Every structure is written in C-alpha cells, then in structure tokens.
A = this chain, B = another copy of it.
Amino acid sequence: MTLKLHNFFRSSSSTRVRVALRLKSVPFDYVPYVLRNGETRRKPFLDLNPAALVPALELEDGRVLTQSLAIIEWLDETHPAPPLLPADAYGRARVRALAQTIACEIHPLNNLRVLQHLGQTFGADEAAQARWFEHWVTTSFDAIETSLARDPETGAFCHGDTPGLADICLYAQAWNNRRFSIDTSRWPVIDGIFRRLDAIAAFRDAAPDRQPDAA
C-alpha cells in the first residue's frame, strides 16, 4: 500500500502537493480526475471529499486528507526531511503568510468552478474571465513582490536559500498564470525565484505538463 493522490494535472493546489511529495521522496499512486466532466462532484469522489475538490490524499489506512496546505503540513510533520518550514516561529509565520497570500487570496478566486460561476451568473465570457484572473494575480503578486524585495529573510528562495512551503505555492501559481498568458517576468524577484525552482527536479517533475493526465 502506498499513498494515493487524487488530483488533476492542471490544478494548482494539486501541483503543490505533488511538489511536496517529491521533495520528501514519498512515493504515491497518481489517481487523475477530469474536473470539467464533473468527476469530483459525484460519487465515488464525494465520499473521499464532500467538498468536491482535489487534491485529496488517501492514506494507507483509508483515511483521507484534504486541502493542499493541510496536506503539506501533515507531510512535513510525518516526513521531516527536508523541512518545508523554517525552524523559528517568526520564520514559519512569514512563510505561511506568503503561502496563504497565494492560497487564500489568488487561487480560490481563480479556480475553474469560480470562473464557471462567473460565466453562469454574470455572463462573463473567456476574455472577462481572463481579466478577472489577471486582476487577482496582479493584486497579490504586486504585494508579494514588495514583501520579498524588502524583507531581509528573502534569499535565493522566498525564505533563505532552501525551497519551502511558500516557494511551492509560488511555483504552482506561476504555472497557473501561464494558462492566461501572464508573464511572471513582470515581477523580477518572483521571477528569479521561479526560475531557480524550475531547475529543481522535484519541482519541474511535479509541473502540470509532466503528469500522466496532461493533454
């Protein structure tokens, strides 16, 4: 028995968990879902996660973890090497806040079900959905760029010279941005970090284009 990752290649939150599993060298079975077909909104997936969202990590005893940041913190606690959070409380708070600025302020506004709901409710066409997507990316990437540029804790990566939880979220979001042709080079500090992450196999191999269900 190994861990089963119920996920979708293009899902940014799925990408986060794939990176963390690879950084920790934890093997897992890849179980893909097609979100546009509604596969996560019906059984058997709803029994795994009533919130109908990927990723869901099925443990060896059948219990299921949901929400990418909660899954990654669980991985970090149960497989401590290499650590994904700093050793000090302030550093952990800083890294978690950067991660949550992406995971709470960008991604939830821009995932597939929200874009679909904008279309159904306000008649937002593809161009309007793309403007909505870019608005929320720009709002938070501008803020993150300012924080990273001024904070002495920023190094080669978001916090020092070792990739961690914030880098995982940043990397997955930058991949998501590409779908809407948002060029990360508008944010030079973020872009430098992204390029360094993209050279690390655990990140690159977890990216959407290298997954078995990639189109």
| Residues in A lying within 8 Å of B, measured CB to CB | 49-53, 59, 63, 65-67, 69-71, 73-74, 77-78, 89-90, 92-94, 96-97, 100-101, 103-105, 107-109, 114, 117-118, 121-122, 124, 128, 131-132, 135, 140, 142-144, 146-147
Contact = CB atoms under 8 A, between A and B. Distances in A.
Tell me the interface secondary structure of chain A in the complex: helix
B117 A89 contact: no
A153 to B, nearest CB: 10
Given A65-B90, A74-B93, A104-B108, 4 more contacts: A59-B90, A67-B100, A74-B92, A109-B109
Contact of A92 (B63, B73, B103, B108): B73
A93 B71 CA distance: 6
Which of A70, A71, A121, A143 counts the most B-chain CB atoms under 10 A from its CB? A70
A42 to B, nearest CB: 14
Contacts of A53: 105
